[in-house]
Structure 1
Amino acid sequence: MALFGGIDAGGTSWRCAVFDGKDSILARTAFPTTTPEETLGHAIAFFQAEAQAGRAVKRIGIACFGPLAVNPAHPRWGHILATTKPHWSGTDVAGMLARGTGCTIALETDVTAAAFAERAWGAGRGLDDIAYVTVGTGIGAGLLLGGKPVWGTMHPEAGHMRAPRHYDDLTFAGVCPFHGDCIEGLASAPALVARWGVQASDLPDDHPAWDIEAHYLAHLAANLVLTTAVKRVIFGGGVMARNGLVRRVADKAAALIGPYGTAAPGEGGFDVVGAGLGLDAGLLGALWLAENALV
């Protein structure tokens, strides 16, 4: 029986699992994201303990928060790049895990890994050109075009694009330490807390926060469609669990683009949907990476 390891390495918490297939998790653990040494140490210890228990894996897929050097040609492949997460800039995630576990490592951003999982098993099935957007502690987008991830100067960082300000949100400065009022700075979970003074989960469905939130996310979706020609934009992450938010974003994105190219999805048009795999998209994306690693 071939076993695979998966790590959903988020900026807030890490989840590790041993799989023998998509629907069979033999062991799993979760722990907060603290310092690189402590966090990676927990992950290494988990896989070492599983190996001692007879559940050794040879390949581990990592769906990791970023920015991240994901192109194998990059001289710092597998490293975290300059990030807002304290202590993590420059961390060699892939190298430390490979040395600590003795496993082959397959690595992608958390959002690109989730896009692979959604294309294989979730809301992106049957499509080669999709975007997966997560809205939580940060906002990130993974792009698959022709079924392949997009790499260039780095991986896409669509959450840091700008959007016109909502007319009821002209004075909020935004929370992004790099760009202030980029979309992540205006629509991430920390932005909601900074603007309204409470957790997003405490805001009622009819609160004006959600029209403002949908405004910025719709501009993100429309820009992705217009610049990359994806056929489906899939939204996941904790903030998107809000009742009706995906529908609001879809309607506003369609209005932004208007009649331009609005054929049915798969016939030249696009749609905006919620994640089919829910909050497991990242962990299942890590499994997909491990199963499909080129070794």
Structure 2
Amino acid sequence: MPLWNPVRTKVHLRMAIQRLQTLKEKKEALAKVARRDIATLIERKKLETARIKVETIIHDDTYIELLEVLELYSEILLARFGLLENGSGFREPDPSISEVIIGIVHSAHRTEIKELHFVRESLMTRFGRDWSVNVMENKDSCVSTRITGKLKTETPPSSLVDAYLGTIAEGYGLPWTFTVPPNAAPGAEALSDLNHDQPPEIVLGAVARNDQSSSDKGDPSVKPARHILPKASTTAGPESNKSTTFPSPPKQPPPYSSSVKSNGRGDDDGDDNDDLLRRFEALKTRH
């Protein structure tokens, strides 16, 4: 455990803030990729695998929240660092930074930031062994619930997993049926009534009607899946050698009048029509 050195502690505290920001951005980027993978699993109906991955995302989100709290605590401690330097004879932290110091000492070792580890050990040296043991054991509930609530390692409840799955599916425009939690947002009851047996366009239409801003709630940097609905095929089956097309019918010419001839070719047009009829009859008899 290093000796108390205010200068080194302050330098490491600044570096810890930068590392916290970088690590938080990295975790958030990985979470976006994981959500995209979960959306693919939902589309392929691999819900059990998707639920397991969602549990990992929930733990990662909790860890990101812990990083945010520690970043806030570090900034407060850096702004009020003079209270540590001036009160060198005190064995208890100043009340204005007590929660901050206790939170850092209690949870900094649960992160992967070495600079924050150094700050934690320096603070433990600064306030003594007995005080540090009480903080580590959370004696008299001295640690804020903002920290303790994010250090729990337990399996998330199924209702929370379903809520994550529903949010991910909604953000990517996928149909999803889930049990409505007790404090669900308005319109969630309609989503819970959706049936997977319904055509995808009906389900997606119901989702869009219940929440027109669902695309804004999802990840703005990720495009939704584009191959949910099957595209109509223009080619015939494997037994056919050629594709079948159905052109739009041509416009019918005006009725032919024997009394009116266009450019003097009325009789010729009649002969052409008779010739076409004869060829058509010949084709019918041939087949």
Same fold (TM over 0.5): no
Instruction: State the TM-score bracket (shorter-chain normalisation).
Output: under 0.3
Q: Which has the larger radius of gyration?
A: 2
The two structures have a TM-score, normalised by structure 1, of 0.22
Larger helix proportion of the pair: 2
More strand per residue: 1
TM-score (norm. length: structure 2): 0.23
